[in-house]
Amino acid sequence: MAYAPKNPEASLHPCFVASLHYADRVQYLLDILLQGSPNEKQQLLNGKEVTALGEAIERCKEAEEAA
């Protein structure tokens, strides 16, 4: 929400655009964590996808700090 445009004419912040891009996937992963079998949860936590999402968030933060 920190990066959401304050009015309809405002330009979209890259972090806001990235959050929109990943929103459905993050919701799916949260569903697995909340309702998945123990095996599904373990596979998710051992997989690379959560790490990749975390790295994408860090890149966005770094870009913000550099600007």
Summarised one tens digit per residue, pLDDT across range 8-44 is: 998 888 888 888 988 999 999 999 999 999 999 999 9
Domain ranges of the chain: 14-66
pLDDT for residue 57:
84
d(CA 22, CA 4): 15
Q: Using the 8-state DSSP alphabet, how is residue 12 labeled?
A: P
Q: pLDDT at residue 67 above 70?
A: no
Angle among Cα 17, 59, 10 to the nearest 5 degrees reads 30
